[in-house]
Amino acid sequence: MSQTQTLYTALTGHLAAALDALEAAGTLPAGLSRAAITVEPPRDASHGDLATNAAMVLAKPAGMNPRALAEALVAELAKLPAVTSAEIAGPGFINLRLSSASWIAELRTLAALGADYGRSDIGRGSTVNVEYVSANPTGPMHMGHCRGAVVGDALAALLEFAGHRVIREYYVNDAGGQVDVLARSAHLRYREALGEAVGDIPEGLYPGDYLIPVAQELAREFGDTFAAAPEADWLVLFRTRAVAAMLVMIRDDLALLGIRHDLFSSEAELQAAGKPAEAEAWLRARDLVYDGVLEAPKGKVLDDWEPVELPLFRSTSFGDDQDRPIRKSDGSWTYFGADLAYHFQKAQSADALVDIWGADHAGTVKRIKAAVAAMTGGEGKPIPFEVKLVQMVQLLRGGDPVKMSKRSGNFVTLADVVREVGKDVVRFTMLTRKPEAPMDFDLAKVVEASKDNPVFYVQYCHARICSMMRKASAEGLGPDDAELELLGQEEIELIKLAAQFPRLAEAAAVAREPHRIAFFLHDLAAAFHAYWNLGNDRPEKRFIAVQNGKLTGARLFLAAQLGQIVRNGLAVLGVTAVEEM
């Protein structure tokens, strides 16, 4: 255990032990919350390698002077072999400097852990259900779905990396009016396949060509049985077949991005199993659903709006602006009514829920959070549930917007984009911006091979390390950890940056922000490239220094470990670590 413990984990433990010692000595009152204590590198590296705010955080609840507490803590921390200096600064920070030996030891830890460096158990095996994509099964995936797909998938991997069990789930909206429209659209294509001249696809039906194959299949199987039949005879059959075909397409599209869900949950099956009705009964029994009349919607004039009594969920009791109907006036379930039951079902098999939604659904976050709180908070604390909103992506080419029109079916499909620029470019680029900020995706810029392009920059870092290893190998050289003490200050600085990966991965998982991994990799690549460039003017700083085989071995060992971190980070992001470019 201690041999494979990373430096930050060890120091966090040492700090806790130091605080324990102060408690035992009676210097510090026992039982104070340490939740706000951090150990992290200071922004300004001149302050030291690590800083902790422990004295400032604990001073007030302990009723102590921060500097007096800091002095006591410094006395404890200075005893640690890894700590070469511990100083009090500013309002009560404790700045620590660590020995070169401890950084070199961290490099060995990195090598020992390999692909597991950065992995943690902060999730303690608890299960998180991540629902993402959940695009309507009415056509192929388009770019509007792409960002949420990538963010959700990377988040799922990140949570696994942090020790959670993860269920990757896709909610199939196969019960609403949109799939009836799909069935009618398929029926039209079916008549077309039978030889009928159907002309232009009417307004209100899906115009895309992608329904032609499933319609042809129906024509082969059933002949003209349903050509003139009333809708009631074929609607369910056509809907079922068309939805199934759309899901095959969607899975293929997702596979292009390297995404595979564990579970596809069907809204229709949920309804057939009576889950929404169960939920309604449960909520009615607690007076959380009642029959009431909604006010007319604001800000928009609806000519067909009329007040009518509907079963309403008391979402206002949980912070929503309005109570929300769970069934329509014809008795069928609203999207929300089914979604409520669906989230209750998900909560049965997970310890926490995360939904990744497009920003256009932001208006429904409050009601679903209200519903989850109501349905899972019955016997104590509600299940942790977060909705991550992913903002729009504007598709550009060379700075000009790419025209898209849903109406004509002329949208840019995800498959088109992945085929044009590649999976790795799509995934990495989608993760180089925090998801709640809008993003431009320029088809021309994202494939540029220059340092302005973060995808290229990070992959080039890995490729450059691999290339160097091949070259060294050809000269009979290779990584060697026998004399890592030969590494100088510039190399130690690289280790310091690399050593932040584990705590950064933990923080990213806790915050549910996979993009932090992408930014870290970019920083690491920048540091590596900068170190590499030292060799341009100073040949003695080159990795392969023929005059000193032992030093070369140590530097190659360092480079190999940096490459390992890039691989680990890219693996979380689902991006290939290429070996040459």
Partner RNA sequence: GCGCCCGUAGCUCAGCCGGAUAGAGCACGAGCCUUCUAAGCUUGGGGCCGCAGGUUCGAGUCCUGCCGGGCGCGCCA
- The C-alpha atoms of residue 42 and residue 312 are separated, in whole angstroms, by 52
Rounded least distance, CB 343 to RNA, Å: 13
Residue closer to RNA by CB (options 252, 309) is 309
Q: Which is nearer to RNA, 269 or 360 (CB)?
A: 360
User: What minimum distance in Å lies between the beta carbon of 318 and RNA?
Assistant: 13
Q: Strand, coil or helix: what is 129?
A: strand
Interface with RNA, residue 283, by CB under 7 A: no
User: 219 vs 551, which CB is nearer to RNA?
Assistant: 551
Cβ contact 267:345 at 8 Å? no
Report, in Å, the least distance between residue 379 CB and RNA. Answer: 24
- Residue 87 contacts residue 74 (beta carbons within 8 Å): yes
* 321 counts as binding RNA under rule CB under 7 A: yes
Closest CB 195 distance from RNA, rounded Å: 32
**CB 193 → RNA: shortest distance, Å?**
26
Using the minimum distance from each CB to RNA, give the nearer residue, 137 or 574. Answer: 137
Asked if 581 interacts with RNA (CB under 7 A), we say: yes
The SS3 of residue 48 is coil
- Per-residue b/e over 335-356, b at no fewer than 16 CB within 10 Å? ebbbbbbbbbbbbeebbbbbbb
Exactly one of 439, 443, 447, 486 binds RNA (CB under 7 A); which one?
439
* Single residue of 64, 68, 78, 294 touching RNA by CB under 7 A: 294
Q: Is 248 in the site for RNA (CB under 7 A)?
A: no
Residues 378-407 that bind RNA (CB under 7 A): 389, 391-392
Strands (E), 183-294: 263-266, 289-293
Cβ distance to RNA smaller for residue 260 or 451: 451
Of 186, 249, 270, 310, which lies in the binding site for RNA, with binding defined by CB under 7 A?
310
Place of tokens 């507490």: 69
Helix axes 275-285, 365-376, angle to 10 degrees: 70
CB of 289 to RNA, least distance (A): 14
Q: Give the DSSP letter of residue 68.
A: H
Note whether 366 binds RNA by CB under 7 A.
Answer: yes
495 closest CA partner among 11, 15, 41, 87: 41
**Contact present, 425 and 398 (Cβ < 8 Å):** no
Q: 16, 68, 365, 497: which one contacts RNA (CB under 7 A)?
A: 365
| 463: contact with RNA by CB under 7 A | yes
| 322 is an interface residue for RNA by CB under 7 A | yes
Q: Is 467 one of the binding residues for RNA (CB under 7 A)?
A: yes
As separate numbers, helices (DSSP H) first and strands (DSSP E) second, the chain gives 19, 15
Quick one: which of 565, 563, 578 has its CA closest to 455? 578
Binding to RNA in span 505-534, by CB under 7 A: 507, 510-511, 513, 515-516, 519, 526, 529-530, 532-534
Decide: is 445 part of the binding site for RNA (CB under 7 A): no
- When the beta carbons of 281 and 530 are compared against RNA, the nearer one is 530
300 binds RNA (CB under 7 A): yes
3-state secondary structure of 21: helix
CB of 219 to RNA, least distance (A): 27
Stretch of residues binding RNA (CB under 7 A), selected from 24-32, 119-127, 427-435, 563-571: 427-435
Contacts of RNA in 51-70 (CB under 7 A):
51, 53, 56-57, 60
Selected from 356, 503, 558, 577, the binder of RNA by CB under 7 A is 503
Residue 353: phi and psi, rounded to 5, are -120, 140
Work out whether 302 is an interface residue with RNA (CB under 7 A): yes
Query: Closer CB to RNA, residue 222 or residue 335?
Result: 335
Encoded one letter per residue, x for contact with RNA by CB under 7 A and - for no contact, window 12-51 reads ------------------------x-x-xxxxx-xxx--x
Find all residues with CB under 8 Å of 175, minimum gap 6, and list them.
Answer: 266, 267, 268, 270, 271, 333, 338
Full 3-state SS string of 325-340: ECECCCCCECHHHHHH
Q: Are 40 and 9 in contact (CB under 8 A)?
A: no
Residue 284 as a binder of RNA (CB under 7 A): the answer is no
Tell me how far apart the alpha carbons of residues 529 and 224 are, in angstroms, rounded to a whole number. Answer: 67
**Angle 559-509-171 from CA coordinates, rounded to 5°:** 125
